[in-house]
Amino acid sequence: MSPQNSNHFRSLTSIEQLQSDLLNGSMTVGDAFEDCVSFINETNATYRYLTYLDECALSSYERSRVSSEKFEQRSLLDGVAVLVKDNIDSADMPTTAGSLVLAQLPHPRSDAPVLAALRAAGCIVMGKANLSEWSNFRGSNSISGWSAVGGQCANALNPRRSPGGSSSGSAVAVSLGVVRIAVGTETDGSLMCPASFNGVAALKPTHGVLSTKGVVPIAKSQDTVGPIARSILDLSRAFITMAGLKNPFSLFDSIKEYTKETFETTKTPRIGVASSSLFGYHVRTDEIVNATLKELSKRLDVVYDCDSGERNALRVSSELEYEVLLNEFAYGIEEYLASRSLPSHVTGRALNWLVNENRALKDKEMGLFGQELFESALERPSDLSSLRYLQALATNRSNAIRRLDRAFSTYSLDVIAAPTISPAPLIDERLGDFVLGAGYSIAAVSGYPSLTMPVGDIDGLPVGLLLIGKPKQEIELLSIAAVIEDFIAFEHNGS
């Protein structure tokens, strides 16, 4: 690629602009691919957001085309380079969850459905994104963004700062502009946290809307796949495509039209602010989010204190959630590993094999933190029969749903807003992760959709606004987020 085309590629502001350039011939898919590879080679040594680069990805894309060499847009993401988190199965690449143990295994037998959907849409799957090893579910003092396979991923805005976890590499690559779209997964905050730390947008869809088959699991009642992007409209393209929704172009246009109608005051989204239970852990974060909401109230309907003055109204029990995660991991990891080609000598519980393999690789795997969570999961049955587990699941989830539904119905809300998380801390290899607070757990436990988007910064560290939506109302959630993004841009630019 010529330097002129390379600079043009990196200056692209949206997928819409990229596809327009592909359609008019000012850029080719090959140009975009080559520059993406070049950008990765320039930046990955510093930020460590990648575990595997597929340099044959362009060939795979070209083999999928049945028409002439001229680009023809067939989907909202056609011709777009993407990265997927390295816990999502791919038949042509390693799937490691950041673990040297899984890295020794043959490739998975098939693509995860969510990855297959991206390929079918004409995405160029560039490779696998680094992550917090085992999605931060191996040791109690794990370090976000670190994996034995990928090393320590670094924050895109400040490499001394945490990239967040566990979808670290996905968020960092998008923030740097290496790709416009990356795919991550979330159990509780694994999309929201790194997106917020790196100043990008992410969507956790309603639990169950996107398939988690072929994804290295933690907890089947909370695990969710979701996209990360640099804008809400790009995020919308990714979700619509990944979900395989009907009439995708019309749906995407409806999101843009919703923004236009809102600015013409024919639609006014109603936003509830969880002032009592999801604020209060970081003063300057609160100030930025409250200032954003105050500006939004000039155009939108903002309802304060939708948690009715109750400090714990929209919080969940971490103790009950911990019990659910341990039991479901003990069950889910056996099911997942049965789909992988384990060594012939492995008998009994596969989790026991993992624990022993980590001990054998202690110098490389456990120099920074241990595997207490794995060992605790071994103490749980692998068949989800525990009464203690069943009670914890029923209690925590029903409480979360009841509390959210009460807020939505009492105040006739479309979404609930709060700060996403405190700003990114320094990477600390001795103490592990340290954050002051976050607001996303109730969406994770309830299974309701949530979204984070950047709304400001503290000394260069991004601050995210969290939006929680109603079940299976992702298009409405994305539409409201697009309105907020446009409004912020309008206020910032003064026009």
Active site residue ranges: 85, 166, 190
Tokens of 14: 């949206």
